[in-house]
Amino acid sequence: MIEQVITPDTDSDGDGQKYELRLFVTGASINSIRAIANLKHICETYLAGNYTLEIIDVYQQRMLAESEQIIALPLLIKKMPLPQRRLIGDMSDTEKVLKGLGIAHTS
Amino acid sequence: MSLTSSQKPTQPLPSFPKALTGIIGLDEITGGGLPKDRPTLICGGTGCGKTLFSIEFIVHGAVMYDEPGVFMSFEEKAEELVLNVASLGYDLNQLQQDKLIRLDHVRIERSEIEETGEYDLDGLFIRLGHAIDSIGAKRVVLDTIENLFSGLLDQGILRAELRRLFEWLKVKKVTTIITGERGGGTLTRHGLEEYISDCVILLDHRVTNQISTRLLRIVKYRGSVHGTNEYPFLIDRSGISVLPVTSLTLTHDVTSERISSGIPSLDKMLEGKGFFRGSSILVSGTAGTGKTSIAASFAHEACNRKERCIYFAFEESPQQIIRNMRSIGFDLQQHIDAGLLKFHASRPTLNGLEMHLVSIHKLIEDFDPHLVVLDPITNLITVGTVSEVKSMLIRLIDFLQSRQITVMFTALSLNTIVSEQTDEGVSSLVDAWLLVRDIESNGERNRGMYVMKSRGMKHSNQVREFVITDGGLHLVDVFLSPEGVLTGSAREAQQLQEVTGKALRDYALNRKDREIERKRLVLESKIASLKEEFESVQDELNKAYVEEELRKDVLEKNREQLIKNRHNEQ
């Protein structure tokens, strides 16, 4: 159901709009390192060349925690394309990450 | 160990550090506030005042105790909180600008979040840590952290992280309040009480007989003595006030200063000086015996001494009382105009006993009176049972005595059986008890007043007749006659009779005096006549004697003449 809705969306987005992603991590914690690796892998696989990924260490910019409503970490925010989505965890569940990013799962 | 400490009482033991909440009454129950630098759980059902409780803790900390605080809200937005607290008279925006308070609204939207694997709550830690460090906070509120459970799915992670959070807060050395919604069978829906072992406070909201009462109970408080009862508390315009049902101590100061009751003859029954300042006085009696008049007289007298007085009327409106009292010569309006007298009239059924108590507290705190009158307390029984009213009055008397405020209660007794109960209930609490009673005899009712008790002074044991006149209240000695105690017209008749008797006696006495005088006159005149008689007898006797002399003289002369003549003839 959801996939059906999202699929045309991504198609149209895929044309011109770049994926704008921000990943919040905490230093070099295990979850953070895993999340970075997993996310990079997913992006390279499904969004090659069509994304920007910003990795932010919340320890370095503590102010952001409040302004970005951060609770659980690691946190990935999909800024663009709309709607905004938030994904938490170490991104090991590829299926869910793709669903969260609104990328059609074609495997 | 305990022996040595008891032998050296001067050496202070390290006391359990506590953080004052500034909530009226709570600091008293907890013996100084919540455990310092430790988390406290406040739980209760919806709308029982958890958020208000915690926000007061933060605001008071910031304003009164110089302890900045962080309020992390998982429910209400910062703007909503600011609005809610504004009604209590606190400007959260200003406090935020002054870096005394920091509000942080944590928004979790389940639908926006996708969980994609292992995670932790470091974000919350960093966020809270930053907020604490930015203002040097000593107090933290997490309201209601259980909302995380609805936002995040992985309970295992969440529980582990919460446990870590509470430990971390202890290390951070902040006094924390965590609020939790009450769940079925457990204190909180998600069992937060498992993690917080230092202090748990339960708030409750109960409705009995359509009257709601909020109650607070300290379920546990590790390392400290605390009141264990359910304490009623109130939320009103100025926030939360908790009322300890019975204060923990009986150590208020007393004074031996005496104040007049406004009825000189009543003062005379009390060593001529009246009641002690700061004492509690009960005036009880049947309907129409003048209890309100006595109370008004007391208030009137206090205002004449330029003392402030609050009159709580549960039966009549202020205007009614003023009008009625004018008829017996008390002009209460002038005292109201002078700001010395304040009336507070409310129907007892307006709200529960606790609310009454709190509104009384509030008014007393604001007005700072020297005298308080409650007229009548028996009407309060319509909102509570006798024992509830009694416990309320205990608390009230406690409170008033700690502030050296004199209080006068009036109590209506309906008939002897019921009355004794109420009177007894309160009478053991009060310092002085006046009983006004109808004395019915000879087809009329008269008022008799007794001083049933008056602690700490000699007082008359006599029944006095209590008379209300245009000029005020008076006590008249009752007349003892062979038929018994006389009051009213019988007393007046007796008085008349005595006056008559006195006149008769006076008259008789006068007559006796006059008779004696007359007797004396008669005797005196008798004495005079006897004297005259004696003089005449004496005269008579003298006359004979002189005549004899004369005759003798003449005889002598004659004889000499005769002798001479004879010689010549020779």
pLDDT tens per residue, range B454-466: 888 888 887 788 8
Cross-chain Cβ contact B114/A97 below 8 Å: yes
* B419-430: burial string, b at 16+ Cβ within 10 Å, e else: beebbebbbebb
Q: What is the pLDDT of residues B388-432, one digit of tens each?
A: 777 778 878 888 888 888 988 888 876 544 444 555 567 777 888
In this predicted structure, the answer to whether residue A8 has a pLDDT above a threshold of 60 is no
Mean pLDDT of the B480-485 span = 69
Do B65 and B130 lie in one domain? The reply is yes
Q: Which domain holds residue B348?
A: 258-477
CATH number at residue A68: 3.40.30.10
Confidence of residue B270 (pLDDT cuts 50, 70, 90): confident
**C-alpha–C-alpha distance, residues B526 and B522, integer Å:** 6
Q: What pLDDT does A14 receive?
A: 44
The listed range with the strongest mean pLDDT (A40-54, B192-206, B217-231, B537-551) is B537-551
H/E element holding B178? strand B175-181
Q: Assess if residue B287 is contained within a domain.
A: yes
Q: What pLDDT does B433 receive?
A: 86
Do B464 and B324 lie in one domain? The reply is yes
Q: What pLDDT does B496 receive?
A: 87
Q: Assess if residue B269 is contained within a domain.
A: yes
Percent with pLDDT over 70 in chain B: 92
Global ipTM: 0.81
Do B171 and B317 lie in one domain? The reply is no
Q: Assess if residue A105 is contained within a domain.
A: no
Q: What pLDDT does A83 receive?
A: 81
Domain count, chain A: 1
**What residues in B contact A24, CB-CB < 8 Å?**
123
Q: Assess if residue B157 is contained within a domain.
A: yes
Determine the straight-line distance between the first and last CA of chain B, rounded to whole angstroms.
165
Q: What pLDDT does B424 receive?
A: 52
Looking at chain B from residue 101 to 120, which residues have their Cβ under 8 Å from any Cβ of chain A? Answer: 104, 106-108, 112-120
DSSP 3-state assignment of A93? coil
In this predicted structure, the answer to whether residue B523 has a pLDDT above a threshold of 90 is yes
B221: left (phi over 0), alpha (psi -120 to 50) or beta: beta
Do B222 and B301 lie in one domain? The reply is no
Do B345 and B275 lie in one domain? The reply is yes
Q: Which residues pair with B440 in a beta bridge?
A: B445
Q: Assess if residue A28 is contained within a domain.
A: yes
User: Of B453, B477, B501, which closes a domain?
Assistant: B477
Q: Assess if residue A103 is contained within a domain.
A: no
Do B293 and B428 lie in one domain? The reply is yes
Q: What single letter denotes the amino acid at residue B41? A: L
Please tell me which of the candidates A66, A90, A100 has its beta carbon nearest to residue B114.
A100
Mean pLDDT of the A31-52 span = 87
Q: Assess if residue A9 is contained within a domain.
A: no
Do B196 and B296 lie in one domain? The reply is no
Q: Assess if residue A106 is contained within a domain.
A: no
Q: Assess if residue B418 is contained within a domain.
A: yes
Residues 6+ apart with CB under 8 A from B478: B448, B462, B463, B464, B465, B485, B486, B487, B491
Q: What is the pLDDT of residues B351-366, one digit of tens each?
A: 777 778 877 887 888 8
Q: What pLDDT does B483 receive?
A: 67
Do B235 and B347 lie in one domain? The reply is no
Do B274 and B231 lie in one domain? The reply is no
Q: Assess if residue A56 is contained within a domain.
A: yes
* B358-371: burial string, b at 16+ Cβ within 10 Å, e else: bbbbbbbeeeebbb
Quote the minimal CA–CA distance from B116 to chain A in Å: 5
Q: Which residues pair with B373 in a beta bridge?
A: B311, B408
Do B439 and B305 lie in one domain? The reply is yes
Q: What single letter denotes the amino acid at residue B142? A: L
User: Of B428, B461, B477, which closes a domain?
Assistant: B477
Q: Assess if residue B36 is contained within a domain.
A: yes
Q: What is the pLDDT of residues B464-481, one digit of tens each?
A: 888 888 877 888 777 777
Residues 6+ apart with CB under 8 A from B216: B26, B201, B202, B203, B204, B230, B231, B232, B233, B242
Q: Assess if residue B5 is contained within a domain.
A: no
Tell me if A107 sits within 8 A of B121, measured CB to CB.
no
Do B125 and B182 lie in one domain? The reply is yes
Please tell me which of the candidates B116, B121, B151 has its beta carbon nearest to residue A89.
B116
CATH number at residue B262: 3.40.50.300
Q: What pLDDT does A107 receive?
A: 52
**C-alpha–C-alpha distance, residues B568 and B570, integer Å:** 5
DSSP 3-state assignment of B16? coil
Q: What pLDDT does B477 receive?
A: 74
Q: Assess if residue B29 is contained within a domain.
A: yes
Cross-chain Cβ contact A72/B123 below 8 Å: yes
- Pair of tokens at residue B466: 């209590």
Q: Assess if residue A34 is contained within a domain.
A: yes
Q: What is the pLDDT of residues B161-172, one digit of tens each?
A: 889 999 999 999
Q: What pLDDT does B515 receive?
A: 93
Do B173 and B42 lie in one domain? The reply is yes
Cross-chain Cβ contact A71/B151 below 8 Å: yes
Please tell me which of the candidates A73, A84, A85 has its beta carbon nearest to residue B122.
A73
Confidence of residue B293 (pLDDT cuts 50, 70, 90): confident
Q: What is the pLDDT of residues B15-74, one digit of tens each?
A: 788 888 888 788 888 888 899 999 999 998 888 888 888 988 999 999 889 999 999 998
Quote the minimal CA–CA distance from B64 to chain A in Å: 27
Burial of B554 (0-12, 13-18, 19+ CB in 10 A): exposed
Residues 6+ apart with CB under 8 A from B72: B104, B105, B106, B127, B128, B131, B140, B141, B142, B143
Q: Which domain holds residue A59?
A: 23-94
Domain count, chain B: 2
Q: Assess if residue B2 is contained within a domain.
A: no
DSSP 3-state assignment of B262? coil
In this predicted structure, the answer to whether residue A3 has a pLDDT above a threshold of 60 is no
Looking at chain A from residue 61 to 90, which residues have their Cβ under 8 Å from any Cβ of chain B? Answer: 62-63, 65-66, 69-76, 84-90
Q: Assess if residue A102 is contained within a domain.
A: no
User: Of B242, B273, B305, which closes a domain?
Assistant: B242
What separation in angstroms does the CA of A17 have from each of A13, A51, A52, A80, B63? Answer: 5, 9, 11, 8, 52
